[in-house]
Chain A
Amino acid sequence: MIEVLIVDDHSIFRSGLRSDLDASLSVVAEAASVDEAVELIAQHRPRVVLLDVHLPGGAGGGGAEVIRRSSALLGEVTFLALSVSDSAEDVVGVIRAGARGYITKGSSGAEVSRAVAAVAGGDAVFSPRLAGFVLDAFGAVAGEQAETSDELDRLSAREREVMRLIARGYSYREVATELFISVKTVESHVSAVLRKLQLSSRHELTAWALERKLL
Chain B
Amino acid sequence: MRPRHVVVGGVSEALAVHLGWSTRVVRLVIIALAVAGGGGVLLYLWLWAFVPLEEQGADAVAPDPSMVDAAAVRRRAPVAALLVAVAAVSAAIAFGSLATAEGTASLALLGVTAAGGLAVAWSLYFDRHDPGRSPRYGTGIRIAAGALLFVAGAVALASRPSAVNAVIGVGLVVLAVAVVVAPRVVTLWTELMRERSARVREEQRAEIAAHLHDSVLQTLALIQNRAGASSEVARIARAQERELRDWLFAADEPVAADLATELRRVAASIELDFAARIDVVSAGVPDGLASAGTASAPLLAAAREAMLNAARHAGGDVSVYIESLPASTDVFVRDRGPGVDLRALPADRLGIRESIVGRMMRAGGTATVRPGAGGVGTEVHLRLEVDRD
Contacts and interface: CB of A to CB of B under 8 A. Distances in A.
- Note whether A and B form a binding pair: yes
Nearest to B376: A174
B374 interface: yes
Interface stretch (B7-15, B210-218, B298-306): B210-218
Given A84-B213, A173-B374, A128 B281 contact: yes
A132 B376 CA distance: 22
Nearest to B372: A174
B293 interface: no
B222 interface: yes
B245 interface: yes
Interface stretch (B40-48, B198-206, B223-231, B266-274): B223-231
A85 B283 contact: no
A168 B374 contact: no
Interface residues of B, number: 36
A165 B221 CA distance: 26
B376 A167 contact: no
A128 B279 contact: yes
B222 A105 contact: yes
Given A85-B245, A105-B222, A136 B283 contact: yes
A174 B374 contact: yes
A131 B323 CA distance: 12
Interface residues of A, number: 38
Contact of A169 (B214, B218, B317): B317
B221 A178 contact: no
A106 interface: yes
Contacts of A106: 221, 224-225, 229, 234, 238
Q: Among the interface residues B234, B283, B334, which one has the most CB atoms of the partner chain A within 10 A?
A: B283
Interface string A147-168: 0000000000000000011011
A203 B374 CA distance: 38
Interface in A22-67: 54
B39 interface: no
A188 interface: no
Say what secondary structure dominates the interface of chain A: helix
A173 B279 CA distance: 19
Interface stretch (A9-17, A92-100, A189-197): A9-17
A104 interface: yes
B321 A132 contact: yes
A19 to B, nearest CB: 10
B132 interface: no
A13 B218 contact: yes
A129 B229 contact: no
Nearest to A109: B225
B150 interface: no
A135 interface: yes
Contacts of A13: 218, 221-222
A132 B281 contact: yes
B213 A167 contact: no
Nearest to B326: A142
Contacts of A143: 325
A176 B332 CA distance: 18
B78 interface: no
A200 B213 CA distance: 30
Given A141-B283, A141-B284, A174 B373 contact: yes
B373 A104 contact: no
A98 B281 CA distance: 24
Contacts of B285: 141-142
Contacts of A17: 225
A69 B55 CA distance: 59
A128 B278 CA distance: 12
B372 A136 contact: no
Interface of B: 213-214, 217-218, 221-222, 224-226, 228-229, 234, 238, 245, 279, 281-285, 317-321, 323-326, 332, 334, 372-374, 376, 379
Given A168-B334, A174-B376, A175-B373, 13 more contacts: A13-B221, A54-B214, A84-B217, A84-B218, A104-B221, A108-B228, A128-B281, A132-B281, A135-B284, A141-B324, A169-B317, A170-B334, A178-B373
13 contacts: A13-B222, A16-B226, A84-B218, A104-B221, A106-B229, A106-B238, A129-B279, A135-B323, A142-B284, A142-B285, A169-B281, A169-B318, A169-B320
